[in-house]
Amino acid sequence: MEHQHFMLHKPHGYLSQFVYELKRKKKLLGELYPFPVGTMAIGRLDEDSEGLLLLTTDGKVSEQVRRKTVEKEYYAQVDGIITQEAVEKLQKGVEIGVNGTKYLTRNCSAKLIIDLPNYIGPGRRIRDDRHGPTSWVSITVTEGKFRQVRKMTAAVGFPTLRLIRIRVGENYLEGLNVGDVKKVNVFPL
């Protein structure tokens, strides 16, 4: 059997899985495209997050992509106008909680974003201007603890309102509209 690989622009409100055992009805990836049996998401984006999700039928490829050397870049819309001081704290690593214990994140790349690319889409309406300003920051990490980027921005005083993964290794969200799936031969890392 020849393995298959896909890039997906995951919309908000979908779980990064194909089966959900609990009672509540959830939107699953299989509703977006007729993926072959045995397809798995490489890493996850939580239900509230959007953006690039890589999928494969090859477990070895999944392991390669999840290595700590592969960069994952996120655009986070945060509550308030994020300061350069907060961005520098993100770069140096911040303390977050992981499974009930304190964890210091690794050094990462972080920078303010002024102009958003069109391909990220408008997203769902988060709130209106009466609730104060928001701003955007790019954060590139090589690790992936549970809800890590959200916890990182909260740790520097700017909670995440919207989170979009735009890159995994050399795989970019650009060219994919929300909900689009693209079949690829390999994932460049």
What is the set of active-site residues? Answer: 46
In DSSP notation, 94-127 reads -EEEETTEEEEPPP-EEEEESS--GGG---S---
User: Helix %, strand %, coil % for the chain, to 5?
Assistant: 15, 35, 50
In DSSP notation, 159-178 reads -EEEEEEEEETTEESTT--T
**What are the φ and ψ backbone dihedral angles of 49, each rounded to 5 degrees?**
-100, 160
Cα separation, 176 vs 117, whole angstroms = 12
Closest to 71 measured CA to CA, from 104, 109, 41: 109
Say how many C-beta atoms besides its own lie within 10 A of residue 4's C-beta: 16
